[in-house]
Amino acid sequence: MKLYNSLSRKIEEFNPVNPSNVTMYTCGPTVYDFQHIGNLRTATLMDLLNRVLKANKYNVKSVMNITDVEDKIEKRAAELGVTVDEITSKYEKIYMEQLAMLNISADLYPHATEHIAEQIALILELEKKGYTYKTDYGIYFDTSKDSDYGKLGNTFNSDKGQSRIELTEGKRQVEDFALWKFVQSGETRQKTWDSPWGVGFPGWHIECSAMSMKSLTNAFAKPTSTFGVDVGLTATDFTTIDIHIGGDDLKEIHHENELAQTESITGKTFINYWVHGAMLNVDETKMSKSLGNFITMQTVLDKGFEPMALRYFYYSAHYRSELKFSWEGLKAATVALQNLSTILTTPGVVETTPGVVWEKYQQMFLEKLNDDLNVPQALAVLFNMIKDENIKIDEKKKIVAFAFNILGLSPINNDVKLEDLPEKVAELIQKREALRKSKDFLEADKIRDTIKDIGYEILDGEELKVRKV
């Protein structure tokens, strides 16, 4: 199996540290609002990679964190006059429901606020090793002490990187970042914690080092006490994590900083394979909360689309290519997924003994996915197989079922009962039937197009069927 590694900037053969326990960490959502369908593209990448690894017979532990401490959460809670916990639990619940609708799952979802002691322990360790300094605003990581800082994100050769860096007085280098922040006078915050440096809250990046080390390695396994809390940090027990996933937008700052902190503490490679998913765009711009150009899953559902159509839509581009969102694209994804689903529901028995055709296509399909998760090419293999008239329906069904399983798809059925059709569509169908009887196929086709524009597709067969598109 091959994966593109953002650190080496090359496609590499995947060799896990321990094949019976592949470790994978994904930067999850900040739960202060609805997630948009861009965020869900990255979550789908996590789930796809998990499934492909499993298809290659690896055991996988997949961890996705929940960021439940952040300025945006505090701000939202203050605006609405509610507690931070009300905000975070509400949006986390909605996010989990959306993951379930998209067949996405991880093995563990750790919360940043449940790992404060671990974060403090890591900062103390950095302090002990001379990587930190203090300003009026907090404890900072001194990037000049880390000789290979910048190796992942190539941060400072890019305007994008520069613009996202926190500009705070007292920093020694512009790229230095907060590990622990002090509550400023006049600032009211709901969530603060005591620490060896005073009351405050953690900087964003340290939470991912703490949660990945804790959930995927033995770094926190031994009972030792830090700041009165038994978190058991033994940096030497850290073992390199296989895979780290996130959107491209996190590579330059967040992941660079996670890497710098963790490697400075452990002296070992943090992550072997950095996997970054490209952005979901609106027009030519990244879909994002701050730009206000985002679409949520709820809007997709409200417009009558199936969650599975969204998952299938993500598959219309390779994960390292940007993908432009459009409602037409989602419609096309619905139709393609319906066509595949129809094969699964066609009567016929699924073969129990694997035939030669099955072996061949299963292998071809997996080969494409093993080539840096090339889903568009894997789907091309599937569609060529379906077109092949020499392949029996029961074999087709078996291959499509296998593909659905690895891609995390479930069949959809948008057939509409004739009695449930809007009156106008029903009338047009009757008119078209009459035209077909009188062999005026040209006019009949025109009506078929009009019906399609309204949102329904007619499937002529022994029995008339109509589906929503």
Which of 22, 27, 122, 300 contacts Zn ion by CB under 5 A? 27
User: Does residue number 63 form part of the binding site for Zn ion (CB under 5 A)?
Assistant: no
Non-local (6+) Cβ contacts of 81 within 8 A are: none
Strands (E), 16-113: 22-26, 60-64
Q: Which stretch binds ligand AMP (CB under 6 A): 284-292, 395-403, 421-429, 459-467?
A: 284-292
Residue of 339, 314, 346, 347 whose CA lies nearest to 457 = 339
Asked if residue 222 lies in contact with residue 230, where contact means CB atoms within 8 angstroms, the answer is: no
Task: State the minimum distance, in angstroms, from the CB of residue 261 to Zn ion.
Answer: 11
Scanning 189-197, 241-249, 376-384, 429-437 for contacts with ligand AMP by CB under 6 A, the matching segment is 241-249
Between 83 and 321, CB nearer to ligand AMP? 321
**Nearer to Zn ion by C-beta: 244 or 396?**
244
Residue 50: which of Zn ion, ligand AMP, none does it interact with, CB under 5 to 8 A by kind?
none
Give the total of residues touching Zn ion (CB under 5 A): 2
Nearest residue to ligand AMP, by Cβ distance, number only: 247
The one-letter amino acid code at 111 reads H
Q: Binding string to ligand AMP for residues 11 to 30, with x set by CB under 6 A, is what?
A: ----------------x-xx
What's the closest the beta carbon of residue 39 comes to Zn ion, in angstroms?
Answer: 13
CA distance 116 to 316: 40
Residue 276 CA to residue 279 CA, distance in Å, equals 9
Closest approach, Cβ 207 to Zn ion, in A, equals: 7
Rounded to a whole number of angstroms, the minimum distance from the CB of residue 174 to ligand AMP is: 22
The rounded distance, in Å, linking the Cα atoms of 452 and 74 is: 47
The upper half-sphere exposure of residue 31, i.e. CA atoms within 13 Å in the direction of its Cβ, equals 25
Residue at token pair 């919360």: 111
314: closest CA among 290, 292, 287? 287
102 lies in the site for Zn ion, by CB under 5 A: no
Question: What phi and psi, each to the nearest 5 degrees, are found at residue 374?
Answer: -85, 80
User: Which amino acid does the sequence have at 423?
Assistant: E
By CB under 6 A, tell whether 139 contacts ligand AMP: no
* Nearer to Zn ion among residue 249 and residue 306 (C-beta): 249
Q: Which does 297 bind (CB under 5 to 8 A by kind): ligand AMP, Zn ion, none?
A: none
Pick between residue 131 and residue 274 the one whose CB is nearest to ligand AMP. Answer: 274
- In the chain the first and final C-alpha atoms are separated, in Å, by 36
Give me the least distance between CB of 47 and ligand AMP, in Å please: 13
Which of ligand AMP, Zn ion, none is residue 286 near (CB under 5 to 8 Å by kind)? ligand AMP
> Beta-carbon neighbour count of residue 324 at 10 Å?
15
Residue 253, both tokens: 């700052």
Residues 190-209 that bind Zn ion (CB under 5 A): 208
Task: For residues 378 and 369, give the distance between their C-alpha atoms in angstroms, rounded to a whole number.
Answer: 6
The residues that touch ligand AMP, with contacts defined as CB under 6 A, are 27, 29-30, 38-39, 41-42, 246-247, 249-250, 277, 279-280, 286-288
